[in-house]
Structure 1
Amino acid sequence: MKRTIKATFMAAMVGMSALGAEAADYKQNPFTLVYDGAIAKNEPGKVNIHPVTYRLNGLNIAANVYTPANYDPAKKYPAVVVAHPNGGVKEQVAGLYAQRLAEQGYITVAADAAYQGASEGQPRNVDKPANRIEDIHGMADFISQYAGVDQQRLGLLGICGGGGYSLAAAQTDKRFKALATLSMFNSGRVRRNGYVDSQLETILQRLQQASAARAQESAGGEVLYAGDANLTDEQIAKLPFALYRQGYEYYWKTYAHPNSTFKYTMSSLLDLMRFDATNQIELIDKPLLMIAGSKADSLYMSKEAFPKASGTQDKELFLLDGATHIETYWVPEYVDAAMGKLTTFYARTL
């Protein structure tokens, strides 16, 4: 039972779903992309993908840059940094939205977080807020120097956990002229309180476990992980929240990628549990668009964050009617609706 709770908790942090979709096969795509409509080859005059590697704090970061149709490096284009969900990688939903934005004329970048995906960092799957926020700053560093990018028209899109970290990054990084979130997930709050505040009574107990895990790790012992469980279909069906059920379906089946995992180091909880994406959110003074599904059980996090963003009057909370959290990752109807809103928002603000 404890294993199940641990895993479901991670699934929430990870966030996303895809019930009923046909499973994508990363091996069938030369760039190992698993989202629907993914680029299979670069062609002149079309949106192209460029796998890149850059250094950030001594680590090699793996990223994909998408350039618009008829891209000319001598011209100037607006750019958007896309931050992936917890447990996700650039080949999944972050890549989908990065490609769709490139179709609208933006140069975009989606990178794997340090210690995760194809990026370097040991031990694997460290999941600390400071790292994830630094990843966003690092993407901005890299894409700002990319040929053709107009540094004065830089936007940010954060998805799920990447949305919460984008709220934190944009508080101080004023290079971003506009910020959007999709299905924003406040990782610190969920790690601390449990999903929908369902684990309030075990906060101190879990902090003790995390502290012991760090002590063991620092002494050279085995690195302990949370969220590392393999659930059966029957167990998944019994999970208490749609985010968990659909998240397992999305990440383990329909849009699975070998670099994507639910697990994270137990010691990361020392940092996660004292973090909150809404702390000092009033420092955001740029246009803000928050998109979430009207039926998402994670909607409470966007609703709570929105009024706290008092530093900007140019803000909107836009609901995708009928969508759950994970469905905003892949269901064509909801992706199209989100893209329609993002296209209008960035066209106006960038």
Structure 2
Amino acid sequence: MTKTLFAADRTPQADIHYIFDLAETVVREQVYYPTRYGVEIAADLYYAKDLDKTTSSPALVVGPPFGGVKEQGPGVYANEMAQRGFVVLAFDPAYHGYSGGQPRYVGSPDTYLEDFSAAVDFLGTLDFVNRDQIGAIGICASGGFSLGATAQDARIKAVATSVMYDIPSLAGLATGQERAEQVAALSQQRWDDFGKESSAFDYNYPEAPLDQVPADLPPVPTEFLSFYATKRGWHEHARANITATSNLSFMNFQATARIDEISPRPVLLVTSEEAHSKDFSLATFDRLKEPKELYVLEKGQHVDFYDRTDTIPFDKLEDFFKKAFN
């Protein structure tokens, strides 16, 4: 793995690699704030250059796909939504990217939910943010995390997911002998990792971006590689998702168990007919109470909702949050 820079390094903005161009009408500021566990979060705050800071504006917090960082999909969403009048915070999860926390790339359902609430903590300190109009957007795995966070944080007034994955639910599917074997293997892995500078990972992406993805891979890995392993989305801080032993927490704790309690706050689930993750949105929609909306586009692969501005339904997201806040 490449050397990870922590939030304390205060890396100049110009030295950070973004996969998209900042709109000329948008301001991006580096900000830092703590979680309730004392981990320092590195985030980017986006807002329009002509934003009237003498009044309070609606705000959004955007969470990344599993293993992703703010310079990828969250920044794409923040850049677009800032042009539509929102103050938007895109963050690196604790233990990832430029955020602090040791060991690196560790995670649990609770830490990923806390990332959203800590972002709300920070947004609520800004004079030009309306505390009663803060919403959340979760991309891929952050879809499930954003729902879990909203269920336990009443300050999040509306939540939208984009091609969501419910990682805790997925991790908990194994039962019987299959689950016992997984637990035994990961328990042994804790001994193997103990005392070492780095831990085992589920997978690693290449140290440098590829020109193309190998042709002999199954469709789903190929799709993820087409983003994370190529120049399209490769980032030096998004080369692994979490440490392998972190999966023990996901196997044992269902972060989305109480999402029916989000009601009466509104929920929007965005997916497409082509997205391999569509079934997560369908199953989650059935578990939610009103008001809820399932928005299914005809086109767009799962990873297209990470960065393709002509695929991501920003008009729909804008309309959803403005109606929710008003």
Aligned to 1:155: 135
- Asked whether the 8 Å contact 1:292–1:320 carries over to 2, the reply is yes
Structure-1 separation of matches of 2:252 and 2:214 = 29
The alignment partner of 2:229 has SS state of helix
Aligned to 1:10: none
CA change 1:240–1:204 in 2 (3 A) is: farther
**Counterparts of 1:17-32 in structure 2 under 5 Å?**
31-32=16-17
Structure-2 separation of matches of 1:155 and 1:305 = 19
Structure 2, unpaired ranges of 5+: 1-11
- C-alpha displacement at 1:59, in angstroms? 2.0
Structure-2 separation of matches of 1:90 and 1:234 = 24
- Asked whether the 8 Å contact 2:212–2:226 carries over to 1, the reply is no
Matched, 1:301 2:285: no
- Report the count of equivalent residues: 308
Matched, 1:266 2:244: yes
Aligned to 1:127: 107
> Which of 146, 149, 153 matches 1:169?
149
RMSD: 2.5
- C-alpha displacement at 1:277, in angstroms? 4.4
Aligned to 1:82: 62
Structure-2 separation of matches of 1:91 and 1:342 = 20
- C-alpha displacement at 1:227, in angstroms? 2.2
Q: TM-score w.r.t. structure 2 length?
A: 0.87
**Counterparts of 1:48-87 in structure 2 under 5 Å?**
48-56=27-35, 57-87=37-67
Structure 1, unpaired ranges of 5+: 1-26
- Asked whether the 8 Å contact 2:213–2:226 carries over to 1, the reply is no
**Equivalent pairs: percent with the same residue?**
31
Aligned to 2:4: none
The alignment partner of 1:86 has SS state of coil
- C-alpha displacement at 1:53, in angstroms? 1.2
Matched, 1:240 2:240: no
The alignment partner of 2:252 has SS state of coil
Matched, 1:97 2:83: no
The alignment partner of 1:134 has SS state of helix
Structure-2 separation of matches of 1:156 and 1:256 = 25
Structure-1 separation of matches of 2:190 and 2:82 = 41
The alignment partner of 2:130 has SS state of strand
Aligned to 1:146: 126
- Asked whether the 8 Å contact 1:213–1:223 carries over to 2, the reply is no
Structure-1 separation of matches of 2:119 and 2:13 = 27
Tell me: higher relative CO, structure 1 or 2? Use CA pairs within 8 A at least 6 residues apart: 1
The AA in structure 1 aligned to 2:314 is M
Q: Which structure carries more helix by proportion?
A: 1
Matched, 1:185 2:165: yes
- Asked whether the 8 Å contact 1:239–1:245 carries over to 2, the reply is yes
Q: TM-score w.r.t. structure 1 length?
A: 0.81
Aligned to 1:34: 19
- Asked whether the 8 Å contact 2:205–2:239 carries over to 1, the reply is no
CA change 1:241–1:188 in 2 (3 A) is: farther
CA change 1:102–1:28 in 2 (3 A) is: closer
The alignment partner of 1:67 has SS state of strand
- C-alpha displacement at 1:69, in angstroms? 3.1
- Asked whether the 8 Å contact 1:216–1:222 carries over to 2, the reply is no
- C-alpha displacement at 1:316, in angstroms? 0.6
The alignment partner of 2:310 has SS state of helix
Structure-2 separation of matches of 1:235 and 1:101 = 31
- Asked whether the 8 Å contact 1:214–1:266 carries over to 2, the reply is no
